[in-house]
Amino acid sequence: MFTLHPTLIADTLDIGELSLCKVLLSNDQRFPWIILVPKRSNIRELFELNAEDQQRLWAETTWVAEQLNQHFGADKMNVATLGNMVPQLHMHVVVRHQNDAAWPSPIWGSGPAIPYESADIATLKNTLSKLLISNKHPI
């Protein structure tokens, strides 16, 4: 039975689901920052997924990175799975701009998140849902 880790629930907005992953938006307006979480229980490491799920995770990750890159005009996409603090496998897909709050450093440890304004959230979720969920993806 898959359930999201409480920290991931607390720190993100729910955008929807792909074939394998929950699609979450990190609630930090400093960076367009998607977190993909495979809907599988008790998985901490990439190689703990079965071969088919590994392929799906990579395909969904790469596809989300490409969509975000195009939509937000990224200077660079950052893709990472760390999990030192939240022990549920999750993949960060982050749009980086050369004028963002952390460039060229990684976003982690770059100071506290700045949550989105409540008034902006519905539009934002709608835009990202169209881009990442309704949009035809290859899996």
Handedness of CA 5, 6, 8, 9 (dihedral sign): positive
Question: Alpha-carbon distance 46 to 2, whole Å?
Answer: 16
| Burial (CB count <10 Å: 0-12, 13-18, 19+), residue 18 | buried
> Applying CB under 8 A, which of residues 13, 77, 101, 113 lies at the interface with its own copies?
77
If one asks whether residue 65 binds its own copies (CB under 8 A), the answer comes out as yes
If one asks whether residue 72 binds its own copies (CB under 8 A), the answer comes out as no
If one asks whether residue 4 binds its own copies (CB under 8 A), the answer comes out as no
CB 92 to its own copies: min, Å: 8
> Applying CB under 8 A, which of residues 4, 8, 79, 121 lies at the interface with its own copies?
79
